[in-house]
Amino acid sequence: MTLIADLTDLLGPAHVLTGADMDRHAQDWTGKYPGQPVAVVRPGDTGEVSACLRLAARHGVAVVPVSGNTGLVGGTYTQGGLLIALERMNRIRDLNPVTRIATVEAGVILSALHDAAADQGLYFPLWFGARGSAMIGGVLSTNAGGSNVLRYGSTRALCLGLEVVLADGRVLNLMSSLHKDNSGYALRDLFIGAEGTLGIITAAVMKLVPAPRAYATATLALRNLADASVLLNRLQEASGGLVEAFEFMPASYMRRLAGVRPDLGLPFAEVPEVTILTELGATAPALCDAGEDGSVPLSGLLEVTVAALMEEGLILDAIVAQSEAQRRAMWARREAAAEITFARRPFVDTDIAVPLDRAAEFLAAIHTRLQAIDQAHEAMVVAHMGDGNLHFTAFPVDGSEATYDRVITMIEDVVAELRGSFSAEHGVGLSKLSSMARRKDAVALDVMRAIKAALDPEGRMNPGKVIPTESTP
C-alpha cells in the first residue's frame, strides 16, 4: 500500500489532506517558505501520532510537525515530507488551581490556555502578538519568548514535563509535575527549542502563576537607551520587582507605525528618540484594591515613581493608562510590530540578543556599518528591552541575495563582538542555518549532531532545520 492509503486507513479521509487542501499548512506566515508536502495528516491523539511516525518510517518519508504555523524562520518547510498537524490535539487534560499546573496537548492555542487559567484566577505568563493562533507545541519547539520574559522567563522556564513521540514511534513519557527531579539527564530540555528535529511534542505540563489583580501601564518618552537601562532598574526597585514588561520603540518604529497603522495613533505630539512601554502587575490586596476614590494603589505607585523620575530629568514625558481601553491601546502599538515590519520589502529581519547595557552600542555600530553596504538603506528596531532581545530590521534598496548575506553577516559580526546571540526567541529553522554554521561553537555543533544521530539515525525528523550540515556556508 502507498503511504497515503496507509494514513487514510489509520486516520480516515477527513484527516489526510492532499492537493489544494494542504495550502493552509504548507506555507508559513511570512510567505517566504512555500513547501510541497506529500500530505498533511491531522492525528487526534498521541497514539495516532505514534502510528503516523511508524508509517512514515516504514515508507522512508521525512516528518515535519506543524502547530499554529506562525513561525518566522521556515521551521515547517518541507518538499516531499509528511506534515503532521497537531491542531486536533487541543485538549486541556487537567488544570489544577491548587498546584497551579496545567496539563495540555500540543494543539492547545495559547489564548485558550490563557482563558482556561483566567477562569481559575490564574495566568499562563507567555504573551505575544500571535497568542490567538500559536499553539503550545510550537511555542515549546521554538522556546518562544514574548513580552513577559523579564519576569517569568521563556517557555522553557514555564515547562515541567513533556510527552514526546520519537522518530521510531515510541512515546517518551516525561510528564512530571515535579519542581525538583534530579533523576538523570534533563531530557525534557533537549526537546524544547529543538523544532521537531528530535521528536514531536504531543503534550506538556506547564506552570501557571496567580493572575495579576491589577496592572499599571505607562508609555514613557526618554532621551536615549542609556537612560532606559537606569529607568528599568529604578522601576524594579520602586515596585519590588513587579515589572512585567519593558518594551522599546524608537523614533524609527513610531514613524513607521504612523505610516502603516495611523489608526493606532502616536502617544506624544513630538516623537521622542526613545519610547518605552512598561507594565507592572500585582496580586497583593494592598496594591490592587481600589480606594474610596476609585484609585488603584499600583497605578498610584507607578505615577509617583514616574513623577519623581521626571523631576530628575530621567523621563521627558509620560502617559499612565487610566483605563483598560488606554492600556490596550498602548499594547496595540507594540503588537503591530510584525505587521509594520513585513509591510515593506525587501527586508533583512533579525532576532538577536545582547547584554542589557550594550543595546545602544549595537544600534550605533549597526547603522555605521550599514552605511558602508547600502547608503540609502532604512532600518527599524523594536525590542523586549528588559531581556536584551532586539528585533532589528534593515530595509536595503538592493534586494539581492548577495546584499542580504552581507547585511546579515555584518549584523552577526556586531552581535558577536558584543557577546550576544544571533537567535533569541524565534528559533533557527531554515533562515538561520548559515548563522549557526558561522557562529555556533564547533564543539556544540558536534554534540548537537551526535544527539540528533542518536535519536533520529535516519535523519527524518524535520530534516535540514536547526543543525547545519558540515558543508553549510
Give the whole-angstrom CA distance, residue 102 versus residue 113: 8
Tell me the percentage of the chain whose pLDDT exceeds 90. 89
ω into residue 285 within 30 of 0, thus cis? no
> What ranges in 293-400 are assigned the alpha helix state H?
297-312, 324-335, 337-341, 359-373
DSSP string of 346-373, one letter each residue: S-EE-BEE--GGGHHHHHHHHHHHHHHH
Looking at the structure, give the CATH architecture of the domain made up of residues 3-85: 2-Layer Sandwich (3.30)
Nearest 5°: phi and psi at 381? -140, 145
pLDDT tens for 180-235 read 999 999 999 999 999 999 999 999 999 999 999 999 999 999 999 999 999 999 99
437 has a pLDDT exceeding 70: yes
Enter the C-alpha cell of residue 197.
Answer: 528535529
Nearest 5°: phi and psi at 448? -60, -45
Give the whole-angstrom CA distance, residue 227 versus residue 274: 9
What confidence tier does 374 reach under pLDDT thresholds 50, 70, 90? confident
Mean pLDDT, residues 346-352? 93
108, 204, 114: which is closest to 156 by C-alpha? 204
Q: How is domain 344-429 classified at the CATH fold level?
A: Alpha-Beta Plaits (3.30.70)
**What residue type is assigned to position 190 of the chain?**
L
Give the whole-angstrom CA distance, residue 297 versus residue 295: 6
41, 53, 35, 33: which is closest to 17 by C-alpha? 41
DSSP β-ladder status, 63-66 and 82-85: parallel
345 has a pLDDT exceeding 90: no
pLDDT tens for 75-134 read 999 999 999 999 999 999 999 999 999 999 999 999 999 999 999 999 999 999 899 999
pLDDT for 373: 87
ω into residue 346 within 30 of 0, thus cis? yes
Residue 393: strand pairing partners = 349, 380
Q: Which residues, 6+ apart, have CB-to-CB distance to 342 below 8 Å?
A: 30, 349
pLDDT for 1: 62
Give the whole-angstrom CA distance, residue 205 versus residue 226: 39
Would you tell me how many other CB atoms lie within 10 Å of the CB of residue 123? 21
What confidence tier does 294 reach under pLDDT thresholds 50, 70, 90? confident
What confidence tier does 434 reach under pLDDT thresholds 50, 70, 90? very high
Give the whole-angstrom CA distance, residue 21 versus residue 436: 34
Which whole-number Å values give the CA distances from 432 to 86, 134, 241, 312, 350, in the listed order?
A: 25, 21, 34, 43, 9
**What residue type is assigned to position 353 of the chain?**
A
The rounded mean pLDDT for the chain is 95
pLDDT tens for 231-246 read 999 999 999 999 999 9
375 has a pLDDT exceeding 80: no
Q: How is domain 92-210 classified at the CATH fold level?
A: 3.30.465
Residue 382: strand pairing partners = 391
What confidence tier does 160 reach under pLDDT thresholds 50, 70, 90? very high
pLDDT tens for 47-84 read 999 999 999 999 999 999 999 988 889 999 999 999 99
Mean pLDDT, residues 288-315? 95
Nearest 5°: phi and psi at 345? -140, 150
pLDDT for 240: 96
Q: Where are the domains of the chain?
A: 3-85, 92-210, 214-335, 344-429
Choose the CATH number for 214-335 among 3.30.1280.10, 3.40.1190.20, 3.90.1300.10, 3.30.70.2190.
3.30.70.2190
Buried/exposed code over 248-276 (b: 16+ C-beta within 10 A; e: otherwise): bbbebbbebbeebeeebeebeeebbebbb
Give the whole-angstrom CA distance, residue 406 versus residue 135: 34
Taking the alpha carbons at both ends of the chain, their separation in whole angstroms is 40
30 has a pLDDT exceeding 90: no
Enter the C-alpha cell of residue 394.
Answer: 534593515
Q: Whole-model pTM?
A: 0.94
Enter the C-alpha cell of residue 29.
Answer: 506566515
Enter the C-alpha cell of residue 408.
Answer: 546579515
Domain 214-335 identical in fold to domain 344-429:
yes
Tell me the percentage of the chain whose pLDDT exceeds 70. 100
Mean pLDDT, residues 463-468? 96
